[in-house]
Structures are given as structure tokens and as C-alpha cells.
Amino acid sequence: MINICPGCHEGRLRAYNFHGEQVDCCRQCGGLWFKNGELNAALSKADNGDDDVRVEETLGDLLGISSRSCHQCDLSLHRYHLMTGYEIEVDVCHSCSGVWVDEHERTKVVQSPKVRQLLEELNGSISVKTWLFQFLSKMPVEFNLKPKSTPLVTYMLLALNILIFFAYGFNLSTTDMVFENFAMRSNELLAGHHPWTLLSHMFLHGDIMHLAGNMYFLYVVGDNLEDALGRAKFFGLYILCGLAAAGAQIAADPGSGIYMVGASGAIAGLFGMYLMWFRHASLTFMFVVFQKKLSPMAFFAIWLGFNIFGLVMAGQGVAYWAHIGGFVMGLILGISLKSKVMHNNPMLALLNEPEVKIAR
């Protein structure tokens, strides 16, 4: 029997040590052939968080007959997804149960047990608890991975905003004094007055509901972003997004003397980065009483639509341009930093692969 490669049909298969298991490898194209049981054995020895892999018995959808043939049985191979929710394509022989893996899919296949574990966490179901929380609070529920480290900067920002509000927010005269000196007004800034309000306005809020809404969204997206970026960079980009939001509002309405307060512009910037890096996450959206898990793309498209609608309708009391400006800055940062963030967070990069499919 001549071991001609079923992948490229040119090279010959040679013995190759793959994570402690002797398998067949084509030196021409780099593809691997696993005899029955060898894929399970190799993945069980690899560093992927699972020492008892049974992927051969739990393959995903059958996609059809492959153009490749088994070099042992001389029968057509069949195309399968490696597993449900992770659509790596492998070729399987129905006669001898051998499995062919292309060279460019090696790393993904090795990490597939870890992806399976992560998908179990990400594919959590909506429950009575999540429905009741959103129905009462009007806030979404997030389905995402838990951060690897404690998000100290996120907690610091939460505490700082809450403590500042409680220091003035329940006394009208104190609120007036604080807003007069630390809230941002476009016309005052452009006249050269109170330049520090570009920063200080981010830590002030108009009322308890304004504070609660902003702090909840900061809590939802902040921990994962801080985990991906690191504490110092996360804090710096948070402030940068807040400054960009303020700049957008000033540019849109330079003559305004209305006080602008709130962390929502900075948090909108976090939304933009979250959208670019956490496509695997889900956020729930509730229409009347119907709750549905949405992708970040869909959720923030709805959020952006509400802001554009408010802007067109000339709504008062909400700095829509600040929201949009912060969000655009977040998108720019998310795009420009994505390759570096993915390099520094291998599992995040793996979950951003198009083969990963989230149940929503």
C-alpha cells in the first residue's frame, strides 16, 4: 500500500510525533492523518484543558462527500464539522474511521476541547432569572467569559463615580455648585474657562437613574475590556474615549451653555471596542416581554439607532453627539488595536475565528 497524501495527492505520508502520538504527516502540505482513536489520544495529551477527549465520537454536522479519498481504503472521505459550534472542517473515512486534518487547522483542532468548554459557558440559556432581571431593571444581561483577573480599574471607576455622586447628588444647592464648577459647557470651554471640565464632567451624573444606568454598562463591558487590555491601558483609553465624546459634542453645538455631565461618552467608547473584540459575547434585548440574546453587533446597532433617532428628533437633555463620538472613537481604537489585543489574548483570538458559532 502506497501512502499517498489524501490532501495534496502529491506527497507521501511519513510517521510524525504529534503531541506524543505517532500519526501520519504529509511533508508536502503538512496535513495529518489520524487512524481510529489517534485524534482522541493526541488531543488528550495536548495542553487544552481536557485529558479525556472524545471528539471522534462527537463530530458535528455531516456536510457531504469529500473530493478526497482514504489512502488506506480507497474510498471517498466524508466532510464533517469537527464539533457543533466550532465549524472546523475535517475529512473522515466511514470504513476505517480515519480522520484527515489540513495543516492550517492543526492549532484550531488542538484547542477544540477548550473551545467546547468556553461554548458551554457562552451558550447559556435565558432563564426566568434573566427575564425577571431585565423586565424589572430594563437592563440587558451579558453572556461572556469571566475575566482572568480582578478588574480593579473598573471597580475603581465604579466606586469613584458613585462616591462623587453621593457627595453632592442629594442636596440641590451642592449640586448647583458642583455643576457650576465641574460640569462641561461648550461655550465656556471655547471661551477658555474651566478647561478641567473636559475631564471632570465624566465623573458627574444628573440623577440616581443616570448614574445607575451608566455604572451598570460600565460593569458589564469594563471587566472584559480591562482583562484584554491591561489596567493602565484600559484606564487611558477610557479617558481618551471620554475626551473624544466631549469633543464631538462641542463640535456639534459650540454655542451651548447647557451643562454636560456623565460617563456615557466614555462608556460608549468601550462599546465600540467591545463590539470589535467580543463577537462571541451575547447581550439580551427585551421587546415588551420578549427577551432575546443578540450579538454585540445587533445590540449596539439598535443602541446606535436609538441615538441617531434622538438626534434627528432634536431631543433635549441627552448629549447624543457625545455618545456617537465616543462610540466612533471606540471603533477606531478597536480596529487599530485588534491585532495586538488578539496576539496578547490567544483564547480571545480563537473565539474571534469565523468557525466559532454562538447559540443565540
d(C-alpha 296, C-alpha 63), whole Å? 29
- DSSP notation for 23-77: EEEETTT--EEE-TTHHHHHHHHSSSS-SS--GGGS---EEEEEEEE-TTT--EE
With a CB cutoff of 8 Å and minimum separation 6, the contacts of 103 are 29, 30, 31, 32
Kindly report the average pLDDT of the chain as a whole number: 94
Summarised one tens digit per residue, pLDDT across range 55-101 is 999 999 999 999 999 988 989 999 999 999 999 999 999 999 999 99
Rounded to an integer, what distance in angstroms lies between the CA atom of residue 227 and that of residue 229? 6
Sole residue written with cell 505517532: 22
SS3 111: coil
Q: What is the pLDDT of residues 291-321, one digit of tens each?
A: 999 999 999 999 999 999 988 887 667 889 9
Between the alpha carbon of residue 238 and those of residues 72, 203, 265, the distances in Å are 58, 12, 9
pLDDT tens profile 226-278: 999 999 999 999 999 999 999 999 999 998 889 999 999 999 999 999 999 99
Q: What is the pTM of this model?
A: 0.90
On whether the CB atoms of residues 40 and 58 are closer than 8 A, the answer is no
Report the CATH fold assignment for 123-351. Rhomboid-like fold (1.20.1540)
Q: Is the pLDDT of residue 10 over 90?
A: no
What residue segments make up the domains of the chain, in order of their start?
Answer: 13-107, 123-351
Query: How much of the chain, in percent, has pLDDT values that exceed 70?
Result: 99
